Structure 1
Amino acid sequence: MTVPVDQLTDPAVRAFVGAVNASDQQAFYAALTPGATMSDDGSDRDLRQWAEREIFSVNGHMDVESEQADGLSLIARYRNDTWGEMRTAWRFVVEGGKVSRFETGQA
């Protein structure tokens, strides 16, 4: 079972996931604060390089299975053309209605 993007609780997270799934770079960066940061499997990464490599150049897509922490923590099946599909955990920090940090890794 998946949670439809338009039913995700937090509006900033909803915008983030929607932008990923639409491969919409403009909407993706609009969902983030200036200077937003991220980590993948516990290691901080350059957000723009990571997003290009893991989302935009390889058709990244999130199917959200569940959400917790008022929508700031997701379990999703994430897939892209490089890695195929894997079960992933996503945690978001939202400030001023935008994502200021996200952390992802295998669930």
Structure 2
Amino acid sequence: MNTSELLTYCMSKPGAEQSVHSDWKATQIKCDGMLFAMVHDVEGRPAVSLKSTPALADLMREEHKDVFPSEHLNKSHWNTLFLDGSLKDSQIYYLVDASYQQAGTAK
């Protein structure tokens, strides 16, 4: 998956809005003011940070070498994953959907 495909998918979510966080050099995707995806480069590789339950965050880190705690966000809820790594596109789409749902229920 590439950054453009990911951003297109994120922006297809109802209420999705895109902005740039200049300090982190990241594109943030929010719904109703709640962050659900942050697209950025990590070590020169395309990556996305997504929110999940702490249990899913831990499971993903244990099972995938391309998933790790997010640098700038709450590490118990937020993972960063490489878009060009071992995760299948279908897994990334699932995690985007889960993050979108988490952001929607965080109100």
Check whether TM > 0.5.
no
Q: Which has the higher contact order (CA 8 A, sep 6+)?
A: 1
- TM-score w.r.t. the length of structure 1 is 0.31
Higher strand share: 1
- TM-score w.r.t. the length of structure 2 is 0.31
